[in-house]
Structure 1
Amino acid sequence: MHIRATSRKFMQTMLTSQRKKAILDALKHNGQVLATELSARFGVSEDTVRRDLRELAAEGLLQRVHGGALPASPAIAPFARRQDMESDAKRRIARRAADMIAPGQVVIVDGGTTSALLVRQLPDNLRATIVTHSPSVAVALAEHASVDVVLIGGKLYKHSIVTVGAAAVEAMSHIHADIYFMGVTGVHPTAGLTTGDFEEAHIKRALAARAAETVVLASAAKLNAASAYRIGGIELAQTVIVEDSTDAKLTEPIEKAGITVLRA
């Protein structure tokens, strides 16, 4: 009896691991999975599927949403680790973004590793005003002689090295900017623009409301992915900058939503 029970437990564990692998494969291929469809496919209850999804989400392998799951963004790693991720692609995206800034403009630059690269690409003779809630971005501009820097204060969110909170939101209400360069951890046609922190999502919405144009900086890993907190629908952005090698299947849904996709 003990041998049979052990065998059944082993088979159940094996089947669970197989289901999880199949879920991740389907997620990679289709861009999303639905609990009802997985339940019918595997011949198990929706409760069993939801348990699988919970466990995969706890491992950071997917992002649960109502009714199913989406690919999880890898861009929720700590700031220091993200500095080394996709550095070449981020540098090209940053350079393309910097080229959009015209003399005399007021520009909001978000926090994050791509934004830090962006401000290092600015021409030495550019005269503009950069508004940021990122101390890292502000410090990177400290020696730029002709760029005025407005640093928004508040509580420091250490994951992204940006300020958040009521004081930051109040300070933003006095700004009218030409462009806002937004950093996100996920860009998805239905889940929208997402990030990994509740307060940071609120700050990004507030910044987008203060700019005539919102430009999202998105490496390929962030496309068709989602994080826990929604900044807004994908239509919150007017432009998305991606790396030149990005698969057209990832950008087509964005363009269908009426958003300009620039390749860098």
Structure 2
Amino acid sequence: MLTSQRKKTILEWLARDGQVLAAPLAVQFGVSEDTIRRDLRELAAEGSLQRVHGGALPASPAVASFSKRRTLESSGKRAIGMAAAAMIEPGQIVIIDGGTTCAELVRHIPSSLAATVVTHSPTIAVALAEHPSIEVIVIGGRLYKHSIVTVGAGAIEAMSHIHADLYFMGVTGVHPTAGLSTGDLEEAYVKRALAARSAETVVLATTEKLNAASAYVIGDVTLAQTVVVERSTDAGLIAPLEAAGVSVVRA
């Protein structure tokens, strides 16, 4: 079998099964594990999959720039934002992450709601600047341009003084075994620190982020108490999350 044919088959099996393992692939193709690992490295370099110990998982497609992602209209994303906004109670202290799904959340916060929003996203802060009853606390640091959020030691130090009721987390991957993940190491640190400062973490996940993984792990899926997904999400993608004890809300 040609290398190109083998890679095509690997991707087909990955799409079918949700993961592939190097050792069984080597047996099935009659090649060495080193050959399979080389195939997986090359496919990962192309962005076709995410390598993990012993094999590979589907790669998250949520890798475009913030400006490009913001121009992509999504009824599912709007529904998730609306459902998340409805979770905020008057008087609460709420942490809102960066990213385009969290931007949809902010658009649906009622003008009458009085609460405090803590954010490390300049975009989120500006979106709330004209909200009459929301107090906005902005966490500073180095700007991670993909998600337009601040990261780094200064940001993590600022978070240590916060006790929040809710944290709305944006991710690029939600996988039952690989956990919650994102595409930047420092951003993963910041998200984990924010989750530690909140009584409840709510992950906002459009369908393409489910059963997918990115390079940097934020934590196990159980770091989140709730995951908000699109109403049309396949039950097979939700069942492993619920089995892990995570509440799933269909928006």
Shorter-chain TM-score: which interval?
over 0.9
Q: Is 2:191 aligned against 1:204?
A: yes
Segments of structure 1 that go 5 or more residues without pairing to the other structure are: 1-11
Q: Is 2:17 aligned against 1:34?
A: no
Q: Is 2:209 aligned against 1:225?
A: no
- Alpha-carbon distance in structure 2 between the residues aligned to 1:190 and 1:139: 36
Q: Is 2:149 aligned against 1:151?
A: no
After TM superposition, the score normalised by the length of structure 1 is: 0.94
- Equivalent of 1:195, from 157, 176, 182? 182
Partner-residue secondary structure (3-state), 1:205: helix
Aligned to 2:51: 64
Q: Amino acid of the residue matched to residue 169 of structure 1?
A: I
**Which of the two has higher C-alpha Rg?**
1
- The two structures, once aligned, show a CA RMSD in angstroms of 0.8
Deviation at 1:76, TM superposition (A): 1.7
Alignment of 1:53-202 (within 5 A): 53-85=40-72, 87-202=74-189
Aligned to 1:3: none
Deviation at 1:81, TM superposition (A): 1.6
Segments of structure 2 that go 5 or more residues without pairing to the other structure are: none
Deviation sequence 1:115-139 (CA, Å, 0-9, x none): 1111110001000000000000000
Deviation sequence 1:84-137 (CA, Å, 0-9, x none): 346211111000000000000000000000111111100010000000000000
Partner-residue secondary structure (3-state), 1:148: strand
Aligned pairs, number: 251
Partner-residue secondary structure (3-state), 1:90: helix
- Equivalent of 2:239, from 227, 231, 252? 252
Q: Structure 1 runs of 4+ off > 6 angstroms?
A: none
- Alpha-carbon distance in structure 2 between the residues aligned to 1:198 and 1:218: 20
Partner-residue secondary structure (3-state), 1:83: helix
- Equivalent of 2:4, from 3, 17, 21? 17
